[in-house]
Every structure is written in structure tokens, then in C-alpha cells.
Structure 1
Amino acid sequence: MESITAQEQKVYSQDEAYKASLEYFKGDDLAARVWVNKYALKDSFGALYELTPDDMHKRISREIYRIEQKYANPLSESEIFELIKNFKYIIPQGSPMTGIGNPFQIASLSNCFVIGNSGMSDSYGGIMKIDQEQVQLMKRRGGVGHDLSHIRPKGSPVKNSALTSTGIVPFMERFSNSTREVAQDGRRGALMLSVSIQHPDAEDFIDAKLEQGKVTGANVSVRINDRFMEAVEASSSFKQQYPVNSKEPLFVKEIEAERLWKKIVHNAWKSAEPGILFWDTIIRESLPDCYADLGYETVSTNPCGEIPLCPYDSCRLLAINLFSYVERPFTKDASFNWVLFNKHVAIAQRMMDDIIDLELEKIDGILIKINEDPEEEEVKRTEKNLWLNIRTKAEEGRRTGVGITAEGDMLAALGLRYGSKEGSVFSIEVHKNLAIAAYRSSVQLAKERGAFSIYDAEREKDNPFMLRLKEADEQLYYDMTEYGRRNIALLTIAPTGTTSLMSQTTSGVEPVFMPVYKRRRKVNPNDKEARVDFVDEIGDSWEEYIVFHHKFKDWMEINGYDITNNYTQEELEELIKKSPYYKATSNDVDYLEKVRMQGAIQKWVDHSISVTINMPNDVSEELVGELYMEAWKAGCKGVTVYRDGSRSGVLIAMDDKGKEEVKENESLPFPTIRPQVLEADVVRFQNNKDKWIAFIGLIDGRPYEIFTGLSDDDDGILIPRWVSQGSIIKNKEADGGSRYDFQFKNQRGYKTTIEGLSHKFNPEYWNYAKLISSTLRHGMPIEKVVDLIGSLQLDEAINTWKNGVARALKRYIPDGTEVHKQKCSSCNSTNLHYQEGCLTCSDCGSSKCG
């Protein structure tokens, strides 16, 4: 299957690869380290088999050429290499770049998957099956999405010992926790959870992530239909029901649409979630949904939202670098090479179809691995069926994900400002040409290789996207009806992540405008020490400054400015104002114009567009609501708003009137006398081979005290696995001493109390826990408490306990909390912060959760 083996490969040291890659990336330390750590071919022992990205691109070219030889009119290996080398024209994204031609890793080439069951499947069996499928995909590097609308609403009758359903939220926690469990090199998988706005638990779903420490391993989005949006506009009522699409629902309730809408807007403004999926628009425009009765009904999206998928379908991603088609960039004679662009789009679609064949080989390898595993067939059954289902969808529909990167740079190089009406008109024309060229290529592939097996022109004849293609190129449409097309759906716009970081140094690629351009600081773009001072002063990431430096330097050189001058602050400001990037940052762009542009572009993208609207901290909730409403009207399929700082330190408290009060980044004063009853979280974890349990007393969502030790049923800690919350109650003993009890409610509401919590664990642990609780009660920031615990010099026997306490508390560190005294193990950056309890590198994205 693979064309290389370890015996055929020369082995390089980490230092050799880093030095060679540093030269390849023209001195860009970050890009070199990201490539070596994330994408260079390596085995499970860390041996490197590639020296620079040239080796990687040769590996990919060799494999795609091998597939090309199976079909008529094959591309040559050199043709493929010339298109992908230096990240210049065509850029395979993460999973394909890592996995193609990789004999050392049994993993899929797909970037994203959606899973689900047939019918409602509202049972623990169905839920547990989905949970296992999610884990099985994440362990092989896949991002996963699934919908929760099939779960019965809270309070519904069930025929088990609980008698009534717990609703959606507890299962959100289950799936979130599974995500956090599965990590590769400290990096977690990505998860999208969605629910229909018609579901009676939709409001609980929307609120679930606002409380700190809850559902921290998932993105969440709400599937909103046109009827709800119309009810919001009309200030009328809206019917929720279960099952959500049933003509004879079992449960119905009427709600005020405007009230729930304001809740969605408020939460998005406050915490950047939930995202919104305009579901009727997605389904109406979806070509795969023309085959819904054959198993292609779209049910959810991948974690970034750009690929709506049916259960067990998956997608691989590839980006076309728009900047590279600008001739004479940043000059008055700049132009876009449409001929070359259309030619390369056709080849990119062809390469994507080849990658599907490579993916089928990878899936076969996974199935062989499963069959060879020593477990019984019953144990392996869910995993095996999962990959068989994925293989069927990949072979039958042959879905691809061709997209773009560097759109903003393309516009700037042409003298057009991102977010302007002129820039939007040009972008729409680019995406229209992209769609026509890609679909024409898929029709040509159908002539040469055969159409996807269930193609039926009659099913698609009234689809709005297909009708636009027909109007734009009638000959293409009639050729399609005659020959079919090779792929069920083709296009998307996905975030390009670290691949854009690597490509921007060699070709100017970077898909977003960084707000660094607005910073008014004295800096010589050619002075490394000044660059470091600049980064330290403005507080932005090294990646952001690298982008600024290369973009601005390129523009200066092209326009004849001396980059070695030590410009004054005033001179630099004047130069920035002349740059095409001026007034094109995320804070400068007209937000409503941006969503209108997205809606217009969306009409030429058959999947979706991953777009987050970045807004300053002081933006109003009303503007966020207006933006969401405009996005629906403009024809967007989805939108997410990120208000600067909105994910940092969000805590929920309730005042004495029961009204929600949100406090950000405050050191919350605790009462001087401990309340008799504290709400508490139960946190379970495994450290080495030991199982641990922690009981964390909370005030306003912030840790106040901690009891923790080995989880030992023989010692009397008989707490069911499903218990994650309860109360810690302080009681007086007969001798006047204090006793701490833990109390929880079962699913019927009956209370169970475990007395003497403080005496259940090793006395030495308890003494140290009292010390740690004291620091928590006196308001020490949680990240400082974690640092303090890490610095304790304890006997080797209780170091495992110390690590467990730190792990239990990390989940409460506010997102965005910066760490200055540690280095990233992947790229040595000191630009680290906490995100969802994990120490995350802002530069390379590496995340350590242990």
C-alpha cells in the first residue's frame, strides 16, 4: 500500500531537521519548529525521516502519482510536486499532509467526521455507541461532530429505573469528557455538539457552557431554522417538540422566540458560544441531501463548522493559495491570472479525488489492524463497523473539500481592501470561478473514472446551488447530466491553521489580518531584538508579529522602501497608512459588510464557510444580534462571534434574587466564615496506574476547598460513577470537632450522604489538602495555586497525589490565563496560556492537558 519503508529512509536528528528547515523557511524559527514537530515524517520512537518540507512534498507527490497511474491521462509526479512545493499553489491540509505516504502511522487522511445512529436511538445503548465511535475516531486524529436532538428532553418518562430522562446536558458532559480523555502528544481531539432549536432542551444546551468548567471539551452550535428566525422578527411564539421532526410529537411546548434569541445572543456575546447553524439554508442548498433517503441526510457539522455531513461521512481538506495568482503584487499593474487559477483548480480537484483512493487504502489498513487485534470480536465490533460505514460513504459519495487560503493577501496585493464593496465583488468572482472550474473537473473525472455511484441528475434538478451553476455555465450543466460527476460535493472554506503559518514565509500566505497593524509602536522590522521588544510590549503572539513582519516587509521592498532604516514612530505610522493592509484588520472591517460578503460567497460554496467574526471587547449585545440576523438574511450557513476577551475567566454566580450575574477576571472575595453547605464537583482521574477522586467545594464556581486521594471502594467511598456533583456539608461532632460530609442526589431526587469525608483519605494527604484549601480560601489565583503545588518538595511516595491535585484544579483556571515561566515542549515558545484546563502554546498550538 505505502511506497516507502523505514529501511528505505535516511534517519535525521531533530537538530539536523530543525537547522535545514530553518534555512528552508528563511530564518523563521516558529515555522521550522512547527513543521518538524507536527508534519515531518517520523515513527513512534521519534526518528525523523524528512529533513525539510521538500521531502514531505516529494512523499505526497509520489503517492498521488501512484494513484494517478490507475486512471487515464495521469498527471506526472513532477507536475504534482511543482504545484505543492514551497506551499505555493496547492496545499494539502493537516491530516493529508501528515498521513499520505506515512507507513508508521495507522490513521485516516480525513480531517473531519460526523457520526450518528439511524432513527431516534434514544437509549443508553445508542448514546454509548456514539461515545465509543467518537473516541475511536479521535484516537486516529479525526475531528468529530454529532447532533443531540435525538435525546429525550429533561423530565420525559423512560422505562428504566430512573423513570424520567435527565435530558441533554449530562450527555454533553459525557461526550466532552471523552474528548478530554483522548489526546495525542498532549493535543486533544476536536468535538462539535449540535442541537435543533426545536428541541425542548435547547435553552439548557445553550446555557451549558457558560458555567466555567462545564463541557470544556466541545464546541457547541444550535441548528436554527427559518421558522424560528421569522418568529423572532415577528416577536411571536415558537413551538418546540420532541421528536423534533415528528408530525405526531410526544412532547410540545410553546416559547417566546425573542426571549430565547436574546439568550443566544447574550451567551455568544459573553462566551463566544453557541455558534449558529442556519439549518434550513444548509439543507436547502445541500446537494448530498438530494440523496437523503439513501443515507446522505445532513445531521451535524465538523468542529469548525465548514463541512455539514451525514452520519459516517468524512472529508479531506486542501487549500489553494490565492496570493500566488497575483502577478506584479502590490503595484499599480497588479493583476489576477485567471487562466492559471482555473487550470490549477481543475488539478486540485483531481488530486483530491486521488486522495480519496489513498484514504480508502488507509481505512483498509485500519480494518486490518482491528482484525489482527487480540480482543474478542464482540469487543471490536463497534470500531470495525464504524470504519466499514466510513469506507462505504467515502467510496460511494467521494466527497472532497477544496478550499482557499490567503484571500485577504490576494486582495491587498491587487490594491483592494478586505471588507470593502470592491473587495467583496472581486472575492465573489473568485469563488464563482472556483466552483465552476472544480465542478467542470469533477465532470471530466466522471468521464474518465466514472461518476459517484448514486449520481442522479433528476434528484438534483431543483437544487438552488445546481441551478446557479446551470445559469453560470449551461454547457457544464448539460455535460454533468450526460456524464455525471465524480464527487457528491466538492467545496469548502476551512481554517488553515498552522499550515498557513508555514506557507506565509515562502509565499506571503496568511488567511487573516492580524490586529498588529493597528499597534502604534516604534519598531524596525529588520531588527530581531526590536521585534522581540515589540511583541513583549503589545502582548500579541509571536505568530502575529511574524505575519506582520513578513507582510509589511514584502510590501516595503516591492515599493522601494529601505527595510534597513530605523524608522521613527511617526514615519512607521505613515508607512502603515500607505500599506494595502491599513484599515483591513478585524477591528476595522464593517462587520455587517463582512457577513453580507460571506453570504454572497456562500452561494458558490456547496458545503459551508468557517468564519468567526472577531469584534472588540466593547461591542454591544445589540450589534451581535444584528449581525446574526443579517447573516441569516444574507444566506450564510453559519456564523460565530468572538468578542475580544469573551472566553477569559467567565464565572456564573446567582444574586439573592436568582438573577444571573457574570463576573470576569475578578478576584472573588470569599466569606471569612465557611458556609455550612458548599456546592461541590467530583473529579475522577487516573495518574499512572492509580485511580484518584477529588471533591472540590465551590463558591460562585470557584474552588474553595479540596478533599482528594486514592479512590478506594474498600475504604468506604461508594459513589456511583455517574455522580459528578453534590454538596460538602460541615457538621459538628459530639466532641465539638468538625466533620465534613458529602451528599448527592440520585436520579429520583433521593439524597445519599457519605459521612466523614475528611477521614476517608490518607491523613498526610488531608494535612496537605488543608494547606492548599487555605490558599484557595484566601483568593490566591488558581494558576498560582497550581504552580505552588507543583513546587512542593514531597516524598516520592506522594508525588502522584500532588500531581493529581494539580490536575483536578487546572480545569478551573480561567481560559486565556497567561503563563510566563514555562516553555512549550514543541517549539520552545514562552507564549503559553491556559485553555479549557490545558496549557496551550499560542504559537504552535501544542496543548498539554496532564
Structure 2
Amino acid sequence: MGTKKEQAGQIDFLTENAKTVLERRYLKKDASGKICESPEHMFRRVAAHIAKAEKNYDTATDVREIEDQFYSLMAEFRFLPNSPTLMNAGRSLGQLAACFVLPVEDSIDGIFDAVKNAATIHKSGGGTGFSFSRLRPENSKVGSTGGVASGPVSFMKIFNIATEQVKQGGTRRGANMAVLRVDHPDIMTFITCKNNKKELNNFNISVGVTDEFMAAVAQKRDYDLIDPHSGKMSGRLNADAVYNELISQAWETGDPGIIFLDEINRFNTTPGLGDMESTNPCGEQPLLPMEACNLGSINLTRFITGTKKQPEVDYEKLLETIHLSVRFLDNTIDMSRYPMDEIDRMVKGNRKIGLGIMGFADLLYMLDTPYDSEEALALAKEIMSFVQTESHKASCDLAKTRGVFPNFDHSVFKGKKGQQRRNATTTTIAPTGTLSIIAGCSSGIEPAFALSYVRTVMDNDRLIEVNPVFKRLAIDKDFYSDALMEEIAENGTVKGNLNVPSDLQKVFVTAHDIKPEHHIKMQAAFQKYTDNAVSKTVNLPHDATQADVRFIYDQAFKLKCKGVTIYRDGSKDNQVLSVSKKGEKVEEKDDFLLAGQQRPQTLEGFTERIKTGMGNLYITVSEYKGRPFELFATVGKSGKSTQAKTEAIGRLISLALRSGITVDDIIGQISGIRGEHAIFQDGGLVYSIPDAIAKVLEKRYLPKNGNGKKQFKNNLKSDLCPECGQAIIFEEGCKTCHSCGYTKCG
């Protein structure tokens, strides 16, 4: 017997970023929180668990041999399964799927059953999608009580609050997708429901658009609104006006996205079981109600052969990996412990899997091909066509020994020669935010967001992260220097940089170098050969217009995408831009918001006294540009212990303020905390020292608007990672931190 390390097998290389992500999110920890497995042992744990399914079909199978093949598949970073599989395989939780869609029925029992089921799924590590289109509109009569309905958006808020309370897999909050049909009477309320950017923050939202609606938009005519309860027309709206409002909101906030319901259902492989109404949180996986899907991605950077001068895709090696990955994902269905019996039945009835890719942008760099070129589009179609064709063949091969999926007779494959499949679908282009960090490659099919960026680490050290393909080439061609990489990080592009050869400037383009129309063309190229859907964000510059957004939506429909998400840079409040041009004034940038920023020499502020049950509390808040920057708190005539705790609260609030946490978020965390000595102050109860601090901050920074509601001006919220303080980017339909692997979308 070899050592544990030898038994696990070796991983050739892990970046420091990959090690950080694995340690934070994936590696097994003991009861005290200490890491108790290596990356090698994680992959061995997963491989051994997934290989056990082989015995279900052939007792003579050498399970250890399959386990070794699965291990090599992952440890060589040719393929990685979705995060819940890496986290939970071979462990007590045992839930291995990432994507779920739950029905929301038009009754109190149906709605709260969905809330309960969503909480169960979030706890197990999955994300949930819902269609709220079956709920009767606001102010409809409710027959059983004589009351009126409050409408889909009001119930979405209940789902949002429930999500806030349940940490996903014990580590983070879950993510949701809400879909409402464009012909629902409450569609305008839905389109604007994330206006204030503080509510429904655990939801992505998408409008379910129909072909009929898009035809009405083209003709600028009215269309019917249908009451889902009665099935009758309840009003009419002008389609072009609704479309313009949808576009305006997306331009302003990034929400809502759109999904094309008719296009999705044209590719519904089991129409006998009903229509697909919603997707998972990032939009790449349309599913039937109570259905889930297991996903995985192939790392294209591992399939380059030939010489440095003439590299090419190694299709023979890719074919072998596709077939083994399909087998892995089919096994995963059997080895997953689904959170509900109904989901277990649906998943095993359809056996949907979603094999996708990552590292496409890096592959193009390696092949000396610009992302925004016709050659890149042709290569996208060639590669994804190959992945789809071979994954279908692999599914048919499995069906010969394991049988077709149980709901086969309800599928479009019934009666078709050569279509005896094991899986109702086989391909999906899913988000790979953390997986691509582990594998050391670019995310999914997205262009690189930046070739070089600066990351703040411990003690305010600045670490330059450089795209590995670009770095190797820069060293080989003798133009690499730390100073140049920092300059590239500052500018956000190599275009126009005299220190970078002009031919390389054309190849090494990044997200904001690429025109919007090419973003959507690339999404369409992959969608053409993908069974399910494609997760991608069309990143737009800050000065993009609403007409630009409309062009993207029009093109997405025309090119037969199944949905589209856009993000206009800086459209979130006070976004800290991850890149900016040297010497230019960028109004959206809040210079001091990065975690650990040094304190300015002189600050102005105010001091306020408030009575508490522990004595008079003196709160001093220093401000920078009219915004709170730090807070000091002192309790008069208190014991040393109380003063120490009060000082600690002040220090932590100061750190939060300097790290970009909003004042309203801070108030929300500390307001109402109850101590043992509550006291009346100005006609209201002050429950504790934290509650007193909240009241002072609220009085100063949350003035009431004309409706008597608190309204926060001077919002410090920036798009910084809540876990490590680095800049967050928008890609693959999701917020993602490339420093620590945090993602908003599960």
C-alpha cells in the first residue's frame, strides 16, 4: 500500500488562487473548521463516490478502474462537475445537482410549499428557479375568503426573505430566478420590482417573452394580458411601450433579463410532460417543474496539440473526454441524494445532464485567434457541434447497456431511428466562475474580463494577477515586466499600448474591447449546438445607450438565443470599476472604498449623545465627501468590559464602511438587537448599545422621503466581494469574484 498521497494521485499544478478557492469552499473540514483533505483527496472522494453507480448496471465492472478514470479526468482538469458534486459527493449531505425549478401554484398552500421546498434545496447547495406566472394578479378577488390577491411580486418578497435566512450548503445564501410571462397583468410591476436595488436581492429576474409579443413589438401594436386564474383577457398594453420599459430597466440596473419561452419550448425534449416555464438562477438551464439537472464543464485549454507555431484542437482526446464526462454525469444522477421525492422521480425519469465547456477565451488566445473575429465564431460552432454530436452518441451508447430514460415515450425521440438515448438532454453552457479558477482557465465562453488586474492581499500588499496565456507569451517574446502588467491593469486593455506587439493587441482582446453585436453572435453560435441554453453576459460600456440594449435584445431573438442578460458597466450604485484609464477622472469610482484603504489625514464629522441602559453613549462619525467613513463609540461611566465591546463594535463598523458596505446594510444588521437594559429615548425604546448606534446612523443617513419612508442618499454600496473585498465582475449571468470564488448565483 502506498502513502495516502500516492493513493490519491498527484495534481500537476494549482495556482494560489485555486488553492484559496478550494480551501474556502470545497475541501472537507472537521468539526472545528480545520481542513482535513487535500485537493487530491477531494477528487478521489468524488471519483470513488460517482464510480459506485457502475454496479447498478454491471456487477462485473471494475469499479476501481472507472474510479481511476474519473479521478484523472478531474485531476488533470480536463473536466470538472458542478460545485455541489465537488462539495458533497461522498459526504453526508449527498446532494450533487446545481439547478432546480419549482412550481408555484395559485394557492396559499402551493405558494408556501414552494417556499419550504426552496429552503430545503438552498440548504443542500442548489439554486432555484420559479415561474410566478400562475399566480393571479394584484387586486384579484380570492373566492375562498372574499379578499383580494396581493400579486406575484409581493409573494416574491416572501421567497426573498426566506432565502436570506438559509445559508446554502451551510456556507452561503442560495440564489433564485423569478420569471413572469409578458402577458401577465402584473408585468409592469414585475419589470420595475428591483428599481430601488435593495429589495429582492436574492433574485435574478427575467421576463418570459413570447413570439406573439415580439411580433406585436415589431408592429408597435397592443397585445392581450391574460388573467392566469380565469384564462381570460383582462386588459391590453402597447407592446413597444412594455419592451421599452423592460430595456430601460435593464440599462439602468441590469435587471430584468429576458427568456424566449417559445424558443425554449421548441427544444423541449419531453413535451408530453408539459411546458418549461422557468430556468435556474443564471438562465442556462430551462427545466420542467420539479426537475433538476447535473452539470459539468470541459476545459478546452487541455486539448491543444501541435507545435507552438501551429497549434490546433486535439479532437481525438476531446472525444474520449466527452464520452467519459457523459458517463460521469449519468452516474451522478444515481448517486445524488435529492431533497424531495418528487424531484428524485422527475430527475431519474428524464435523466437530463448538461455538459458544457470553459476556457474558450484562453483557447482562442492559444490559437492566435481574436474573440471578435469570424474565425472565432466558426471555431465556436465547430467545437460545440462536436461536443453536442459526441455527447448524443455517448448517451445512445449508455442506453444500449443501461436503457433509455424512463420518460422516453413522452419524448421527441420516440420512434426515431438511432435516437435511443439515456438522457433527455446532454449539453448546457453553464457558469464556471469557481470551477475555472480551480482549473486555471477563463470562464465558460466569456471573453477575458481583464488580462491583468491588481488584487489587494494581506497587509495591503498589491498582487498583480496576469492571464497565464498572455504572461507566457509576453515572457517568450521578451516584453514582460511587472510595470507593464500594472499599466495594463490600470488601462484595462492592451489596445494602443506601444509596449505590446500590434499583432498581439488584435488577439488579446477583453470583454470591453468587444462590440456588443459580437457578444451576442458568439452566444448564438454556441446556442445553435446546445440542447439546453447558454449562460453569458453581454457587457456594455458605461456610455452605452438604451438603443444599444434594444439592439442586443432584438439580435438575441433574431439569432434564436433562448435568453439574454446585459450589464452596463457602472449601472449599479457607486460601482468601483475594476479597471480605469490612468489620468482620467472616472466619476463612478469611489477612491477610498477598497478594503484596507488608508485613512485621509483630516476628516470632518459629528458627535451625538444618546441614552442607553448602560449609560450615555457618545457616537462620533467621521465623514469623507459627505459619507460616513469611520465610527467611534464611548460609554460614559461603564465598566471596562462594556467599553471594550463598544469600542470593538465601532472598529468593525469602521472597517465595514471602508470596505464598501452600505450604511443601510449596517443598520439592518445591528438595529433591534436587544440587551438586558432597554430604555426610553425620544419616545422610543433603545434596546442596546448596537441598537442605539443604529438609531443615530438612521437619523443621519436615512432621511424620510415625502411618503414617510426612509430613503438613503450617499449609498456606499460598491461592487466589491462581500467576502474578500476585491472587485466583482458580471459574467455568465452572474456576479463573480475571481479572487476568492464568491458568486451570487449559487
User: Same-fold call, TM > 0.5?
Assistant: yes
8 Å CA contact 2:300, 2:360 repeated in 1: yes
> Are 2:123 and 1:139 equivalent residues in the alignment?
yes
Match of 1:263, as an amino acid?
E
Could you say which residue in structure 2 is the equivalent of 1:49?
36
- Report the secondary structure of 1:318's partner residue: strand
8 Å CA contact 1:500, 1:511 repeated in 2: no
Could you say which residue in structure 2 is the equivalent of 1:179?
163
Residue 605 of structure 1: how far off its partner (Å): 0.7
> Are 2:311 and 1:308 equivalent residues in the alignment?
no
8 Å CA contact 1:194, 1:300 repeated in 2: yes
Could you say which residue in structure 2 is the equivalent of 1:202?
187
Match of 2:701, as an amino acid?
L
Could you say which residue in structure 2 is the equivalent of 1:77?
67
Could you say which residue in structure 2 is the equivalent of 1:286?
268
Could you say which residue in structure 1 is the equivalent of 2:312?
335
8 Å CA contact 2:357, 2:444 repeated in 1: no
8 Å CA contact 1:95, 1:316 repeated in 2: no
Match of 2:718, as an amino acid?
G
Residue 765 of structure 1: how far off its partner (Å): 8.1
Task: Find the partner of 1:257 among 239, 242, 260.
Answer: 239
Could you say which residue in structure 1 is the equivalent of 2:221?
236
* 1:226–1:535 CA distance, 2 compared to 1 (3 A): farther
8 Å CA contact 2:430, 2:444 repeated in 1: no
Could you say which residue in structure 2 is the equivalent of 1:443?
396
CA distance in 1 between counterparts of 2:286 and 2:329 reads 18
Match of 1:239, as an amino acid?
D
Could you say which residue in structure 2 is the equivalent of 1:322?
300
- Report the secondary structure of 1:478's partner residue: coil
Count, aligned residues? 634
8 Å CA contact 1:179, 1:218 repeated in 2: no
Residue 41 of structure 1: how far off its partner (Å): 2.2
Task: Find the partner of 2:425 among 480, 486, 489.
Answer: 489
Spell out, residue by residue over 1:35-74, the C-alpha distance to the aligned partner (whole angstroms, 9 max, x if none).
Answer: 11211122444243312x2222222222233323443566
8 Å CA contact 1:131, 1:175 repeated in 2: yes
CA distance in 2 between counterparts of 1:306 and 1:54 reads 30
- Report the secondary structure of 1:239's partner residue: strand
Q: Which has the higher helix share?
A: 1
Query: 1:551-630 counterparts in 2 under 5 A?
Result: 551-557=469-475, 559-561=476-478, 563=480, 573-575=498-500, 577-579=502-504, 582=507, 584-630=509-555
Could you say which residue in structure 1 is the equivalent of 2:139?
155
CA distance in 1 between counterparts of 2:276 and 2:442 reads 36
8 Å CA contact 1:614, 1:643 repeated in 2: yes
Task: Find the partner of 1:516 among 434, 441, 450.
Answer: 450
> Are 2:408 and 1:455 equivalent residues in the alignment?
yes
TM-align CA RMSD: 4.2
Query: 1:661-810 counterparts in 2 under 5 A?
Result: 709=672, 758-762=683-687, 771-776=696-701
8 Å CA contact 1:158, 1:164 repeated in 2: yes
* 1:533–1:282 CA distance, 2 compared to 1 (3 A): closer
- Give 5+ residue unaligned stretches, structure 1: 1-7, 12-16, 367-386, 463-476, 520-530, 651-662, 667-700, 716-738, 740-755, 780-807
- Report the secondary structure of 1:61's partner residue: helix
8 Å CA contact 1:416, 1:580 repeated in 2: no
8 Å CA contact 2:452, 2:467 repeated in 1: no
Could you say which residue in structure 2 is the equivalent of 1:219?
204
Query: 1:491-506 counterparts in 2 under 5 A?
Result: 491-504=427-440
8 Å CA contact 1:508, 1:551 repeated in 2: no
* 1:323–1:841 CA distance, 2 compared to 1 (3 A): closer
- Report the secondary structure of 1:76's partner residue: helix
8 Å CA contact 1:705, 1:777 repeated in 2: no
* 1:41–1:478 CA distance, 2 compared to 1 (3 A): same
CA distance in 1 between counterparts of 2:209 and 2:19 reads 42
Match of 1:554, as an amino acid?
R
* 1:219–1:489 CA distance, 2 compared to 1 (3 A): same
Match of 2:75, as an amino acid?
K
CA distance in 2 between counterparts of 1:270 and 1:618 reads 12
* 1:335–1:572 CA distance, 2 compared to 1 (3 A): same
Task: Find the partner of 2:51 among 54, 65, 69.
Answer: 65
CA distance in 1 between counterparts of 2:26 and 2:155 reads 34
Match of 2:311, as an amino acid?
A
Report the TM-score when normalising by structure 1: 0.67
Residue 415 of structure 1: how far off its partner (Å): 1.9
CA distance in 2 between counterparts of 1:594 and 1:420 reads 11
Match of 1:56, as an amino acid?
M
Report the TM-score when normalising by structure 2: 0.76
Residue 777 of structure 1: how far off its partner (Å): 6.2
* 1:579–1:69 CA distance, 2 compared to 1 (3 A): farther
* 1:225–1:48 CA distance, 2 compared to 1 (3 A): same
> Are 2:746 and 1:844 equivalent residues in the alignment?
no
CA distance in 1 between counterparts of 2:564 and 2:48 reads 39
- Report the secondary structure of 1:221's partner residue: strand
CA distance in 2 between counterparts of 1:536 and 1:612 reads 34
* 1:163–1:447 CA distance, 2 compared to 1 (3 A): same
Residue 318 of structure 1: how far off its partner (Å): 0.8
Could you say which residue in structure 2 is the equivalent of 1:30?
17
Could you say which residue in structure 2 is the equivalent of 1:116?
103
Spell out, residue by residue over 1:527-584, the C-alpha distance to the aligned partner (whole angstroms, 9 max, x if none).
Answer: xxxx6699999x9x96xx53x3422122235x45375797697997433644377452
- Report the secondary structure of 2:128's partner residue: strand
Could you say which residue in structure 1 is the equivalent of 2:639?
none
- Report the secondary structure of 2:513's partner residue: coil
* 1:71–1:816 CA distance, 2 compared to 1 (3 A): same
- Report the secondary structure of 1:587's partner residue: helix
* 1:155–1:488 CA distance, 2 compared to 1 (3 A): same
> Are 2:337 and 1:390 equivalent residues in the alignment?
no
- Which shows bigger deviation, 145-154 or 71-80? 71-80
Residue 810 of structure 1: how far off its partner (Å): 11
CA distance in 1 between counterparts of 2:276 and 2:301 reads 33
CA distance in 2 between counterparts of 1:452 and 1:63 reads 22
Could you say which residue in structure 1 is the equivalent of 2:627?
none
- Report the secondary structure of 2:29's partner residue: coil
8 Å CA contact 2:701, 2:712 repeated in 1: no
Task: Find the partner of 2:76 among 86, 89, 108.
Answer: 86
Could you say which residue in structure 1 is the equivalent of 2:371?
418
* 1:811–1:55 CA distance, 2 compared to 1 (3 A): farther
Match of 1:307, as an amino acid?
Q
* 1:847–1:337 CA distance, 2 compared to 1 (3 A): closer
Match of 1:406, as an amino acid?
G
* 1:292–1:812 CA distance, 2 compared to 1 (3 A): farther
8 Å CA contact 2:82, 2:97 repeated in 1: no
CA distance in 2 between counterparts of 1:195 and 1:285 reads 20
Query: 1:628-667 counterparts in 2 under 5 A?
Result: 628-649=553-574
Could you say which residue in structure 2 is the equivalent of 1:39?
26
8 Å CA contact 2:283, 2:535 repeated in 1: yes
Match of 1:115, as an amino acid?
L
Match of 1:487, as an amino acid?
N
CA distance in 2 between counterparts of 1:414 and 1:236 reads 48
8 Å CA contact 1:702, 1:812 repeated in 2: no
Identity of aligned residues (%): 26
